[in-house]
Amino acid sequence: MAYQTLEKVNTIPWQERPDGNTNVIWRYSDNPIIERDAIPSSNSIFNSAVVPFEDGYAGVFRCDNKAVQMNIFAGFSKDGLNWDINHDPISFQEGNTSMIDSDYKYDPRVTFIEDRYWITWCNGYHGPTIGIGYTFDFKEFFQCENAFLPFNRNGVLFPEKIDGKYAMLSRPSDNGHTPFGDIYISYSPDMKYWGEHRCVMKASPFEDSAWQCTKIGAGSVPILVDEGWLMFYHGVINTCNGFRYSMGAAILDKDQPDQVKYRTQPYLISPQTPYECVGDVPNVVFPCASLHSIEEDKVAIYYGAADTVTALAFGRISEIVQFTKENSL
Ligand code: BMA
């Protein structure tokens, strides 16, 4: 397959679909973009989030160390591909609370809302729950109250308030390798108190779409398109060899995002390449962020591969929306 040279167009890392590839999403030819040992202390760097920042990009990276302790690190890039990740983890100051306990941090997402970058992650507080913090400059970071009671994972903020309130997707879970999981939405007037919890979408019946029949979780920050909020999510099947994580897309109603308008029956990407199938946890594709340009009709999706490295995939937003509408569960 012939790949075009990667070009930077309107701030989005981009590579055209390879000749002969008929899939709606295609992988970057030089994946993985971040190797497991990109900083001296790391065992693995995956499930990480990036945003446009100044004249390039910033990110918050999950780097598990060689004691396999999970923590999050800031990083910077000019092109979205080559990253300089700080060698020390993020140190949080007190935000809207003095209770900033954290046994571990993993699977960050980053969302710019109004005047600052909000970070959500899976925070260890008597088990996993959703931690929240913010930064203006990716140098100083402030930690806020946890959003929910334990146990919860995959907290993903919407990039703007909905009906005057912050909105967050999350996935109530257990304290282990959760064998269930549906996506909920919650609202907050102030990023401290969360309520109005509503179920958004559930794992699917096995016979309808088996790749997402065990559990599902929100992936990247939703993108507003004409049809509503386009959201990439992960879906899991429990096979005879363990969990297998793939990626799908859903479109949620713009004003009432607990209403699912469309949701892909087929996956968009499943673990198929060596770096997705082989690693510390085989067979994992886990999206946590995307960069997009509505004008250019482009999206670049960042995902963790096999809980080991960070990879990139591309798609045309209009094609993904059309595919999601035409192949909806
Ligand atoms: C989930 C989380 C993710 C991980 C996935 C697959 O429970 O721990 O960070 O990618 O399992 O191991």
Question: Taking the domains of the chain in order of start, what are their residue ranges?
Answer: 25-326
The average pLDDT across 316-320 equals 98
291 contacts 80 by C-beta, under 8 angstroms: yes
Nearest CA to ligand 1 atom 9: 107
Choice from 284, 285, 303, 308 to test ligand 1 binding pocket (greatest atom count within 8 A of CB): 284
Question: Which candidate, 244, 240, 184, places its Cα nearest to that of 214?
Answer: 244
**What is the per-residue pLDDT for 9?**
39
Nearest CA to ligand 1 atom 4: 307
Rounded CA-CA distance 99/302 in Å is 31
Q: Write the pLDDT tens digit of every residue in 256-271.
A: 999 999 999 999 999 9
- Which two tokens mark 63? 């780097």
The average pLDDT across 16-43 equals 98
Nearest CA to ligand 1 atom 11: 177
The average pLDDT across 38-65 equals 97
268 contacts 5 by C-beta, under 8 angstroms: no
The average pLDDT across 98-127 equals 98
Q: Which atom of ligand 1 is nearest the CA belonging to 307?
A: 10
- Identify any residues that bridge with 225 across adjacent strands, giving them in sequence order: 228
Q: Write the pLDDT tens digit of every residue in 292-304.
A: 999 999 999 999 9
Nearest CA to ligand 1 atom 12: 281
CA of 3 to the centre of ligand 1 (A): 31
Backbone phi, then psi, for 323, in 5-degree steps? -60, -40
Q: Which atom of ligand 1 is nearest the CA belonging to 245?
A: 6
- Which two tokens mark 130? 């959703």
In percent, how much of the chain has pLDDT > 70?
97
The average pLDDT across 36-53 equals 98
Average confidence score pLDDT of the chain? 96
Rounded CA-CA distance 186/125 in Å is 20
Segment 20-25 long-range contacts (CB within 8 Å, at least 24 positions apart): 23/268, 24/268, 24/315, 24/316, 24/319, 24/320, 24/323, 25/247, 25/268, 25/269, 25/301, 25/313, 25/314, 25/315, 25/320
**What is the per-residue pLDDT for 15?**
97
**What is the per-residue pLDDT for 4?**
42
- Which DSSP symbol is given to 269? B
- Specify the higher pLDDT residue, 217 or 2: 217
Residue partners of 246: CB distance under 8 A and separation at least 6: 211, 212, 234, 235, 236, 237, 267, 268, 269, 270, 271, 285
- Which two tokens mark 58? 């910033």
Ligand 1 shell residues, CB under 6 Å: 47, 106-107, 177, 245, 281, 284, 286, 304, 307
Rounded CA-CA distance 37/35 in Å is 6
> Which position has the token pair 């282990």?
176
Taking the CA atoms of the chain, what radius of gyration do you get in angstroms?
18
Choice from 70, 109, 307 to test ligand 1 binding pocket (greatest atom count within 8 A of CB): 307
- Specify the higher pLDDT residue, 274 or 8: 274
Residue partners of 24: CB distance under 8 A and separation at least 6: 268, 315, 316, 319, 320, 323
Rounded CA-CA distance 246/236 in Å is 6
Q: Which atom of ligand 1 is nearest the CA belonging to 177?
A: 7
**What is the per-residue pLDDT for 126?**
98
The Cβ-side half-sphere exposure at 104, using a 13 Å CA radius, reads: 15
Nearest CA to ligand 1 atom 1: 177
25-326 topology per CATH? Tachylectin-2; Chain A (2.115.10)
Q: Write the pLDDT tens digit of every residue in 177-196.
A: 999 999 999 999 999 999 99
C-alpha distances in Å from residue 75, one per residue of 38, 207, 229: 11, 42, 27
Rounded CA-CA distance 107/143 in Å is 16
- Which two tokens mark 109? 């997402």
Q: Is the pLDDT of residue 5 over 80?
A: no
> Which position has the token pair 């203006």?
136
182 contacts 198 by C-beta, under 8 angstroms: no
147 contacts 98 by C-beta, under 8 angstroms: no
Q: Is the pLDDT of residue 2 over 50?
A: no
CA of 125 to the centre of ligand 1 (A): 17
Q: Is it true that the peptide bond before 151 is cis, omega within 30 degrees of 0? A: yes
> Which position has the token pair 């009432």?
256
46 contacts 307 by C-beta, under 8 angstroms: yes
Rounded CA-CA distance 221/154 in Å is 11
CA of 253 to the centre of ligand 1 (A): 28
Amino acid at 43: N
CA of 295 to the centre of ligand 1 (A): 34
Choice from 154, 177, 246, 283 to test ligand 1 binding pocket (greatest atom count within 8 A of CB): 177
CA of 171 to the centre of ligand 1 (A): 12
Q: Is the pLDDT of residue 7 over 90?
A: no
